[in-house]
Amino acid sequence: MKTLRHYELIFIISPTLEDKEAEITAREVKDLIVEKGAQIHYSETWGKRKLAYEVKKQRYGFYSMIHMEGSVETVNEIDRNLKLHEHVIKFLVVKLEPEKVGKASALNPDKMKEEV
């Protein structure tokens, strides 16, 4: 039996898309996660924000965060597919402790203000 673990995925969508297209792309990423066999526990959309540094000649991007549960193999497959997605310009998947599932990431500056 495969061991299931909790992960946080933060991804940035190209700012060249319209708001509606960015929403559709975020939905595609969620559908990909479910299709590959992971379960989504929580998600947030942070909207368009300035990047800390230029990525693929872009200074802005649409940020989203998802907490999910899946096997290592499933997450590796999601990782592989996100690398190939034309509108996802950057992403990061990190392993979470189960008690952190459903809580905002420390990378979200708005949530950091609330917790301090």
Can you tell me whether residue 109 is helix, strand or coil?
helix
Answer yes or no: are the C-beta atoms of 25 and 87 closer than 8 Å. Answer: yes
CATH number for 51: 3.30.70.60
In whole angstroms, how large is the CA radius of gyration of the chain?
Answer: 14
- Whether 106 shows a pLDDT value over 70: the answer reads no
- Whether 113 shows a pLDDT value over 50: the answer reads no
Position 96 scores a pLDDT of 87
Average pLDDT over residues 20-47: 94
Could you give the CA distance from residue 58 to residue 54 in angstroms, rounded to a whole number? 5
User: For the chain, what is the mean pLDDT?
Assistant: 87
Query: How many domains does one find in the chain?
Result: 1
- The whole model's pTM is what? 0.82
Of the CA atoms within 13 Å of residue 116, those in its CB half-sphere come to: 7
- Whether 109 shows a pLDDT value over 60: the answer reads no
Of the CA atoms within 13 Å of residue 51, those in its CB half-sphere come to: 18
17 backbone dihedrals φ, ψ, rounded to 5°: -85, 155
Average pLDDT over residues 55-59: 91
Residue span of the structural domain in which 103 resides: 5-115
